[in-house]
Chain A
Amino acid sequence: MAKVLVVTSGKGGVGKTTTTAALGAALAQSGQSVVVVDFDVGLRNLDLVMGAERRVVFDLINVVQGVAKLPQALIRDKRLESLWLLPASQTRDKDALTDEGVGRVIDELRSRFDWILCDSPAGIERGATLAMRYADEAIIVTNPEVSSVRDSDRIIGMLDSKTVRAERGERVEKHILITRYDPGRAARGEMLNIDDILEILATPLLGIIPESQDVLKASNVGTPVTLNNAESAPARAYVDASRRLMGEEVAMTVPAERKGFMNRLLGRRAA
């Protein structure tokens, strides 16, 4: 049974595209067939993070408008057999997406894949509402900062009212994914802590991705972080999150501050 999952957030720059690529790769690695769809028309990035930017011929807009067939636009990942990408167009207007066109593409994807991961543009505009419109589940990506958390709250409200599921009286299953979490700064009160975020958003937690250089490194070489360095802390956190998505019970690990001697020394000096 195909699942349509939207990766969304209110605020931009919290890591939606990184998350889409990392979770897509992690799900594909566990044997599921996965397509990641870039809904960020006008500002496409998912193809870059997936390392497929030089193989884009047709895109989502072409398929929605009927210029190209879906198989022509789908790009197979070079590393994983069961991972596919449906890229966005950077040259088109974001208004080129239509409700029924997106619905048709999603329906066609449903018949081919186990997982359809939609990378939503930030904000609450048409592009974001179209990305979430046909979703069965949603991952709300949020940073441990107040602006990001408040905007996520707004997005959760929209998921409860503007999706096809909500209009039919059903529920879109929602998960919170906290990215760029720095345990040291959270302990010093420079960041919201996890309990506060979950209390504000009143939505179950899918995972906590620690702040790490590995994320930046991976996206710069065009590889999902889960493939680039599978042993890194963010990669392991994403793999855990993907297993939770598949219904496995995985204990939640809250990244802890590594109290090395140098760290302690520097921490004291900073204080």
Chain B
Amino acid sequence: MDVRADPTRQLVRLRGRSYVAFVFSPVVPIVEWLAEIDATLARSPGYFVGKPIVLDLASVDLSSSAIAHLLGSLTERSIRVLGIEGVDEERLGANMPPLLTGGRACVITRNEPVQKPEPEAKPKPTSLLLECPVRSGQSIVFMEGDVTVLGSVGSGAEIVAGGSIHIYGTLRGRAMAGVNGNSNARIYCQRIEAELLAIDGYYQTAEEIDIALRNRPAQAWLEGDTMKITPLN
């Protein structure tokens, strides 16, 4: 009995696949251009590893041996050239990468300006307005600027602001202004019964605040290393 394996016909499948390749366009003098490549490699040694590279020789006029020398220099730097474009086919030797045509320009840098302006178009708010009372146990932290409260700040609540703090009610809790090191920040309130006032790290507790100020409109600010609290008008 014959043992015979029918040769199955292997289909040649052609599939398209596209890559974004780096295009190297050498300029004369080639030595200086190579020095630039070396500088890039010094900053990030693995930068070109595994990335397809196409050599565009349209802007330089190189002989066949000069092209061979350039390819050799790139190979020394572990840069493998996928193809060459912009040169006559007869200048390429048999062991050189193939001639490529029809490459479409792909400007990588064009992507960046598209993404960038969107988030920057909206300026970050520089003040925070709270229309309701701040309750005991709540902590409002706003490092970007001023905080304005239309109600009261309860005992056991705290407001932390990068800028100044304005309270159009009674301040019974803690107010910390200028926490980013802004010593010009101030604290204003319609009635002061605060547990603690702080500006840029300098603070006074309820005990230290003059009793004559209690229940009056007041403002606090820094004068050098001392915190001043005075009644408003």
Distance A151 CA – B170 CA, assembled complex (angstroms): 17
| Contact of A202 with B136 in the complex, beta carbons under 8 Å | no
Closest CB of chain B to A238's CB: distance in Å? 27
| Contact of B172 with A200 in the complex, beta carbons under 8 Å | yes
Of the listed residues B136, B157, B172, the one surrounded by the most CB atoms of chain A closer than 10 A to its CB is B136
Is A154's CB within 8 Å of the partner chain B? yes
| Contact of A199 with B135 in the complex, beta carbons under 8 Å | no
| Contact of B135 with A160 in the complex, beta carbons under 8 Å | yes
| Contact of A154 with B132 in the complex, beta carbons under 8 Å | no
Q: Which A residues lie within 8 Å of B155 (CB)?
A: 150, 153, 200
Is A157's CB within 8 Å of the partner chain B? yes
Q: Which A residues lie within 8 Å of B86 (CB)?
A: none
Is B152's CB within 8 Å of the partner chain A? yes
Residues 107-165 (chain A) with a chain B CB within 8 angstroms: 124, 150-151, 153-154, 156-158, 160
Residues 91-141 (chain B) with a chain A CB within 8 angstroms: 132-133, 135-138
Q: Is the contact region of chain A dominated by helix, strand, or loop, or is it mixed?
A: helix
Q: Which A residues lie within 8 Å of B156 (CB)?
A: 150, 153-154
Q: Which A residues lie within 8 Å of B151 (CB)?
A: 202
Chain A residue with Cβ nearest B169: A202
Q: Which A residues lie within 8 Å of B154 (CB)?
A: 150, 153-154, 157, 200
| Contact of B137 with A202 in the complex, beta carbons under 8 Å | no
Interface size on A, residues (CB 8 A): 12
Chain B residue with Cβ nearest A203: B133
Chain A residue with Cβ nearest B193: A200
| Contact of B170 with A156 in the complex, beta carbons under 8 Å | no
Closest CB of chain A to B2's CB: distance in Å? 73
Distance A154 CA – B137 CA, assembled complex (angstroms): 6
| Contact of B133 with A150 in the complex, beta carbons under 8 Å | no
Q: Which A residues lie within 8 Å of B133 (CB)?
A: 202
Closest CB of chain A to B180's CB: distance in Å? 26
Residues 15-65 (chain B) with a chain A CB within 8 angstroms: none
| Contact of A154 with B170 in the complex, beta carbons under 8 Å | no
Q: Which A residues lie within 8 Å of B157 (CB)?
A: 153, 157
| Contact of A199 with B137 in the complex, beta carbons under 8 Å | no
Across the A-B interface, give the 8 residue pairs with the lowest CB-CB distance, nearest first: A157-B135, A153-B136, A154-B136, A154-B137, A153-B154, A202-B133, A153-B135, A150-B155
Q: A160-B135, A202-B133 are in contact. List 16 more A-B contacts (CB 8 A).
A: A150-B136, A150-B154, A153-B135, A153-B136, A153-B137, A153-B155, A153-B156, A153-B157, A154-B135, A154-B137, A156-B135, A157-B138, A158-B137, A199-B170, A200-B172, A202-B169
List 6 interface pairs A-B (beta carbons < 8 Å), by A numbering: A150-B156, A158-B137, A160-B135, A200-B154, A200-B172, A202-B152
